[in-house]
């Protein structure tokens, strides 16, 4: 869409009756001269579609600038040189924009020139915006209707977009796959966090990898003065300097291996505290831990706990022994439990510390809901049997008795 523009030059001498030359000239004069300039200003006329209403009569616009408007119609001769308030209307698709500047009417040979008496009035920002958008092509004209330039092409506004090439398609596919992979990663991360929050319990106390053999405990309060885990059967494996000034010696009770339980020479121990773990040839490697009553209940539900070793490997440890009796013996304090690793751990891991984690089945989360549903069904059944059915039976008997009663008229 091309936009024609005319520029103005020169004023006529008269202030009251200003006669201006035509926008177009004809004949030899137009061949020798450029398009005539008129109006004595430097603002070009733009052929944007508009209409002017002057004293209730419409006029068709021919050109518009920031300082004047050229219109065509059947003017009243008495308007020449008069000042009037006019309405400039710009029709869009579904709405219109109207401006109301004050103009001085100048009659030409085949048109009216409406010169704005206040070019910098309140109408200037809107008028300048419309003219600039029309000149830049953002607004185009379809007959007397103005519409956005982006709507002039095919539907969707994609007329100027080239088709993507092979690398463009490949880049788009790669972007789609990347977004899909990130979405799946986020979903997986959310599921893992939810699973850890609802189905996993981390035990506070760590477990100790040991053997299932006997445990040597301190016989009195004191300090370990001698410790020989490699002592043979019958030799002194432990010497304890008690707080009463006595030195107590403990002999190795079997031909087995002794593993210190976190003690060494010089360690202070209390009476009954575990000192050595005795491991025979046939003893299995187990994990012992002291857990609270709540953690013991969770371990009983799952049958054991996950044993995570220092090197990152993990095995399942089945709950061994009678945890209920152990809990009763420990009263309100922590309970010592034994976990049997599946598969079995090597003997070289004895003495290592392991983290314990209890996993619950997802189906157990719905168990309370199932209990609530069953309770609701039981209550509904009780209401039906105790209230609804008796009331229905009584109503049926009353209706049956009424229908079976003889009619008094028939009896007479």
pLDDT (tens digit, 9 = 90+) per residue, 108-167? 878 888 999 998 889 899 998 888 888 887 777 666 677 776 554 444 444 456 677 778
Considering the chain, what is the average pLDDT of its residues?
A: 76
CATH number at residue 368: 2.40.30
Q: How confident is the model at residue 86 (pLDDT cuts 50, 70, 90)?
A: very high
| Residue where one domain finishes, among candidates 254, 283, 312 | 283
In a domain, 161, yes or no: no
Q: Is residue 349 part of a domain?
A: yes
Q: Is the pLDDT of residue 196 over 60?
A: yes
345 in the same domain as 256 = no
364 is a domain residue: yes
Q: Are residues 384 and 360 in the same domain?
A: yes
Residue 237 domain flag: yes
Residues 292 and 275 in one domain: no
CATH of the domain at 236: 2.40.50.100
Give the count of domains, the chain.
3
253 & 231 share domain? yes
Domain interval for residue 245: 213-283
Confidence (pTM)? 0.37
Q: Which of 265, 283, 301 is the last residue of a domain?
A: 283
Does 14 score more than 80 pLDDT? no
- For residue 149, the model assigns a pLDDT of 60
The CATH number for 73's domain is 2.40.10.220
Asked whether residue 201 falls in the same domain as residue 338, the answer is: yes
**Distances from the Cα of 61 to the Cα of 23, 74, 93, 248, 394, angstroms:** 13, 13, 18, 121, 92
Asked whether residue 132 falls in the same domain as residue 42, the answer is: yes
Residue 112 lies in a domain: yes
253 and 113 within one domain: no
Q: Is residue 126 domain-shared with residue 243, that is, in the same domain?
A: no
100 in any annotated domain: yes
Domain co-membership, 146 together with 265: no
Residue 122 lies in a domain: yes
Chain segment 91-112, per-residue pLDDT in tens: 887 788 899 999 999 988 788 8
Please check whether residue 309 lies inside any domain of the structure: yes
Q: Does the pLDDT of residue 281 top 50, yes or no?
A: yes
Q: Are residues 248 and 305 in the same domain?
A: no
Segment 334-362, tens digit of pLDDT: 777 888 888 888 877 877 888 888 877 66
Q: What is the pLDDT of residue 44?
A: 82
Question: Which of the four pLDDT bands, split at 50, 70 and 90, describes residue 323?
Answer: low
Q: Are residues 246 and 263 in the same domain?
A: yes
318 and 299 inside one domain: yes
Residue finishing a domain among 234, 260, 283: 283
């Amino acid at each position: 869409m091309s936009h024609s523009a005319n520029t103005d030059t020169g004023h006529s001498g008269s202030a009251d009756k200003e006669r201006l030359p035509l926008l177009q000239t004809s004949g030899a004069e137009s061949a020798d001269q450029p398009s005539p300039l008129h109006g004595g200003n430097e603002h070009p006329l733009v052929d944007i579609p508009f209409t002017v209403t002057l004293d209730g009569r419409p006029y068709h616009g021919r050109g518009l600038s920031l300082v004047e408007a050229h219109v065509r119609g059947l003017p009243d001769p008495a308007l020449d040189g008069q000042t009037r308030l006019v309405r400039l209307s710009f029709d869009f698709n579904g709405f219109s924009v109207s401006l109301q500047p004050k103009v001085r009417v100048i009659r030409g040979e085949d048109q009216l020139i409406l010169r704005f008496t206040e070019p910098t009035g309140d109408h200037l920002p809107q008028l300048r915006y419309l003219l600039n958008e029309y000149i830049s092509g953002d607004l185009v004209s379809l007959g007397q209707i103005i519409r956005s330039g982006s709507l002039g092409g095919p539907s969707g506004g994609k007329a100027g977009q080239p088709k993507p090439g092979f690398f463009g398609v490949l880049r788009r596919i790669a972007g789609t796959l990347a977004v899909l992979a990130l979405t799946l990663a986020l979903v997986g991360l959310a599921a893992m966090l939810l699973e850890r929050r609802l189905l996993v319990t981390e035990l506070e106390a760590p477990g100790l990898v040991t053997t299932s053999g006997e445990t040597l405990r301190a016989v009195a309060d004191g300090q370990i003065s001698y410790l020989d885990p490699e002592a043979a059967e019958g030799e002194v494996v432990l010497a304890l300097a008690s707080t009463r000034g006595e030195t107590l010696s403990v002999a190795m009770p079997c031909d087995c291996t002794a593993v210190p339980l976190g003690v060494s020479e010089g360690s202070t121990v209390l009476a009954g505290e575990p000192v050595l773990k005795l491991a025979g040839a046939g003893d299995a490697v187990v994990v012992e831990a002291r857990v609270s009553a709540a953690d013991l209940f969770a371990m009983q539900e799952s049958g054991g706990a996950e044993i995570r070793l220092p090197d990152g490997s993990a095995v399942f440890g089945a709950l061994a022994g009678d945890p209920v009796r152990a809990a009763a013996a420990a009263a309100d304090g922590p309970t010592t439990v034994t976990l049997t690793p599946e598969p079995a751990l090597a003997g070289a891991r004895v003495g290592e510390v392991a983290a314990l984690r209890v996993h619950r089945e997802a189906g157990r989360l719905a168990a309370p809901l199932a209990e609530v549903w069953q309770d609701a069904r039981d209550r509904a059944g009780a209401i039906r049997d105790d209230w609804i059915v008796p009331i229905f039976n009584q109503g049926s008997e009353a209706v049956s008795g009424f229908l079976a009663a003889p009619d008094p008229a028939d009896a007479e």
